[in-house]
Structure 1
Amino acid sequence: MKSVIGKVALAGLLALGAGAASAGVTVNYVDSDKFADLPFAPWERKEVLDDLAAYFAQLGKSLPAGQDLVVEVTDIDLAGREYPNSRGARDLRVLKGGADWPIIELRYTLSANGQVLSSGNAKLTDMNYLNRINRVSDGDRLRYEKRMVEDWFNKTILQKRS
């Protein structure tokens, strides 16, 4: 019995140590009820915000060990325009490529070991969103926003050249 308890305790300590050394991303939405353009249905709004936060977390896995990124999203305007569906299904989002490009406004702080490495405000936009190559799946309803976020993350946070 002591052997099992010892192994569990050791595994817990190793997990805590790995968590402290790994990079992390925290996403907060500031007054999301006032965002310019999210789906009308509350459950769809939650899906969009959760999906976007998960994508930031996925990108955060490429941060060097010990670095943490805090993102405060202050506004979202999704690509296209949403039209209500009277049949009870999901609302219809129409993408025309005109003045309906995606916009995400955010504040960010990148830190390591309690020291701020960089911080600032950013307004992510992609006016040419329908005419660029996109590695995000065609079936992903946030494919244009995710490409835009990834471009910003690589350029600003990882400081990669395009």
Structure 2
Amino acid sequence: MNKKLTRALFAGMVLLASSAAWAETQVKYDKPDEFTDLPFDQTKRDSVLKDLTAHFEKLGQSLPSGQNLQINVTDIDLAGREEPRLRGISDLRIMNGRVDWPRMRLHYVLSQQDGKVISSSDAALSDMSYLSRINRYANDDPLRYEKLMLDDWFASTFGVKVELTR
């Protein structure tokens, strides 16, 4: 009995010690009311920011343990254009593939757990071929084009393989 208790306590201590080494991702939005293109409806705006935050956090899980990522989003321009004249019960977003590709501006800081900065930069993301690319996200995901753009940026910037996130 004593051996089992010792093993359980040891396993718990290992888990506790390793939890401090997990990667952490923090996302902030700088003046989201001034972003180029978010839904008109405040509830939908909040939902978009919440979904993007969750996606950034999911991507951050692929970073090596002990690294922290801080992201400050300074502008978002979603794929397509919301048509105010076609608004009804739900907003309608029209995508024509011309000048309505998704764009995002952000600043990131990747640091180690002790605060030592590994890399830091401003980034201007865009995907001009968003309608002609194979997209692994479901058609009913309203942010599928933005998520694919973020996946590409994350993989090329941090050199990690990005798995499909849902």
Amino acid of the structure 1 residue aligned with 2:101: W
* Corresponding residue for residue 146 of structure 1: 147
TM-score by length of 1: 0.86
Q: Distance in 2 between matches of 1:19 and 1:109?
A: 21
* Corresponding residue for residue 164 of structure 2: none
Matches within 5 A, 1:20-59: 20-59=20-59
Residue 129 of structure 1: SS of its match in structure 2?
coil
Residue 51 of structure 1: SS of its match in structure 2?
helix
Matches within 5 A, 1:58-137: 58-84=58-84, 85-87=86-88, 89-113=89-113, 114-137=115-138
Q: Distance in 1 between matches of 2:58 and 2:34?
A: 26
Q: Is the 8 A contact 2:127 2:149 kept in 1?
A: yes
> How many Å apart are 1:35 and its aligned residue?
0.2
Could you give the per-residue CA deviations for residues 101-159 of structure 1, whole angstroms, max 9, x where no partner exists? 00000000001131100000000001111001111111110000000001000000236
Give the aligned length.
151
Q: Is the 8 A contact 1:78 1:101 kept in 2?
A: yes
CA RMSD of aligned residues (A): 2.0
Q: Structure 1 runs of 4+ off > 2 angstroms?
A: 9-19, 84-87
Unaligned runs of 5+ in 2: 1-8, 162-166
Q: Distance in 2 between matches of 1:33 and 1:157?
A: 29
Unaligned runs of 5+ in 1: 1-8
Q: Give the share of equivalent positions with the same residue, in percent.
A: 51
Amino acid of the structure 2 residue aligned with 1:26: Q
* Corresponding residue for residue 6 of structure 2: none
